[in-house]
Amino acid sequence: MIRENEGIFITFEGIEGAGKSTQIDLLADYLERKGYDVVVTREPGGTGIGESTREILLNPDFHGMDFLTELFLYAASRAQLVSEIIRPALAAGKTVLCDRFADSSLAYQGFGRGLPLDRIEALNEWATQGCSPQLTIILSVPAQHGLERATRTFTDRIEKEAVDFHQRVKCGYEKLAGKYPDRIHLVDALGGPDEIKRRIIGIVEEFLERGKQR
C-alpha cells in the first residue's frame, strides 16, 4: 500500500548478466521525468562499509570463503544499507531502486549454496529490521547466456561458479516468484533494452496505479 508522503521501494533481481544495472538506470530516468525523487543504490554496496564488503565478497582470490561467511557478509552489508540509505530515503518520501536485496540471499545462498531457507529468512528479517520492497522485478535470462554477458571483461568470485550453480539460482528466483506473486514479477530479459524497459514500465505503472486506488 502506498500512502501520501510514503516512499516506494522497488528491487531488481536476477542472475549474473541479466541486465539489472541498465534497466534500473532506465527506470530511474523514467520515474524522475514523472516527478519522482529517485534514489538508486545496490547491494552489496551502496555505503562506504558496503562497498568495502563488496570487494571482499567478489574478490576471486577468496575462493575458499565459507558459505556461512558469505551469507553473513551479505547480511552485514544489507543492514548498513537499510540503516544508512534505504530507511532515511523512504522516510523522506523518495523512491528507492535497489540492485539486489534480501531475495538474493535466498536465491544464491539458499537455492544456490543449499543453506537452510528458514535460517536465511530469519537473518534477512533481523538485518533489514523488517524493511522489505513493495515490488520486485526479476530479470530472467538463461544461465549460460547471462554468464557470457557478465564475464566478457572480468570474472568475479560469484561469476566463477559453475553454470549448474547459476542454474540453481535461476530456478530459485522462479520459485520465489511463485511464492510471492503479488510482489515479485518475472520479466523476460532477452531482447533490446528498450523492449525490456517497456515490459518493466508496464509492471511499475500497474503497481503505482494500484497504490493510488487503495
Q: Is 43 exposed, middle or buried (0-12, 13-18, 19+ CB in 10 A)?
A: buried
C-alpha cell of 201?
Answer: 514500465
* Residues 92-102: tens digit of each pLDDT: 999 999 999 99
Angle subtended at Cα 187 by Cα 183 and Cα 192, rounded to the nearest 5 degrees: 145
Residue 56 CB burial class (10 angstroms; 0-12, 13-18, ≥19): middle
Question: Distance between CA 91 and CA 66 in Å, rounded?
Answer: 36
The helix (H) or strand (E) run that includes residue 136 is strand 135-140
d(CA 146, CA 160): 12
Q: What is the pLDDT of residue 4?
A: 40
CA dihedral (150, 125, 2, 11) in degrees, to 10, reads: 0
Among 171, 155, 164, 10, smallest CA distance to 96 is for: 10
Domains of the chain with CATH codes: 8-213 (3.40.50.300)
pLDDT in the model for residue 145 = 87
In this prediction the pTM is 0.94
* Separate counts of helices (H) and strands (E) for the chain: 9, 5
Preceding peptide of 88 cis, ω within 30°: no
What 3-state DSSP class applies to 138? strand
Tell which residue, 168, 207, 214, 160, has the closest CA to residue 187.
207
Query: In the structure grid, which three cell numbers stand for residue 100, read together?
Result: 539486489
Q: So what's the pLDDT on residue 210?
A: 86
Q: How far apart are CA 68 and CA 184, in angstroms?
A: 26
Q: Dihedrals φ, ψ of 16, to 5°?
A: -60, 140
Q: Which residues of the chain have pLDDT under 70?
A: 1-5, 213-214
